[in-house]
Amino acid sequence: MKKPLVLISLLLVLALALTACSASFDPAKNISVVAREDGSGTKTAFMELIGLRGKADPRHVVTQNGVAGVLAEVKGNPHAVAYESLGYVTKDVKALKVNGVEASVANIKNGTYQIARPLSVVYKESTLSNSLYNAFLTFLKSSNAQNIINDEGYVSVVDNAAAYTINSSLSGTIEISGSTSLQPLMGELASAFKKLQPNVTINVAGGGSGTGYNNAENGVSQFGMISEVFGQARAASCTHYIVAQDGIAVIVNKKNPLDNITMDQLKNIYDVDAGASAILKWDALVK
């Protein structure tokens, strides 16, 4: 009496699971817009780069608090679109071309891929006459630093870098402040440098790119961090070094036939105030 019941319910569950798995792409469906949580560096950078700085998310967006959540959603949902640091994008999802340019390390380095920005330190040339500060800049260019940059999901800009050579006579304090976008990476780099040079203390503070320019110009910090293209006018006596590039890929499900997206389309997907030009369904993008 009970066995058929159990069997039927099992079959039902199996059938439901199968239908759930075999979902295919349908252009008439709504775009599932995925975003990161407020305060995420990736979100701030992405919104800024597509021209939506400081705007709220559209009402229908799904917020995932982490790389894993974003990737899982895009992997499983044929109608999802999301953004994530290029270094974290896996083979389970598809990265779109933006304005016809593929999201690749090479295209970020040569500046053709648009959703990318340099993360730099600004400093005075005279700073480098100090052997400690000079050693730190050398470290930033070394293979030790490039490995950390790649591991953290950023694009390293120095090819064939040499390993850092330890100078046991170094000691002192380095003050670094500025962009909160570069701050987490700089924190990692600083702690790696401290492991190599145990007598050195490095203070990495935030404050924003503006603070980075000002503190470097006024000598408050030896290195100021900025997350934009270096503007000489903002720190007249300083020069800069690009530590890494922050590239953000636009990702969709592998079943999605779309290959390319324009900056305008992207903006109309993520703009809460897009109004009539808002793109809500995939058929606006997939012909």
Q: What residue ranges bind another protein (CB under 8 A)?
A: 16-17, 19-21, 23, 29-30, 32, 37-40, 54-57, 59-65, 69, 72-73, 76-77, 79
CB of 78 or CB of 150, closer to another protein: 78
- What are the tokens at 99? 């304005």
* Least gap, CB of 287 to another protein (angstroms): 20
CB of 217 or CB of 271, closer to another protein: 271
Find the radius of gyration of the CA atoms of the chain.
23
**C-alpha separations of 79 from 27, 75, 257 in Å:** 8, 10, 11
* Least gap, CB of 214 to another protein (angstroms): 19
* Least gap, CB of 80 to another protein (angstroms): 10
Directed axis angle between helix 131-141 and helix 143-151, to 10°?
50
* Least gap, CB of 263 to another protein (angstroms): 21
* Least gap, CB of 23 to another protein (angstroms): 4
CB of 11 or CB of 16, closer to another protein: 16
CB of 30 or CB of 165, closer to another protein: 30
CB of 60 or CB of 254, closer to another protein: 60
CB of 102 or CB of 188, closer to another protein: 188
* Least gap, CB of 203 to another protein (angstroms): 17
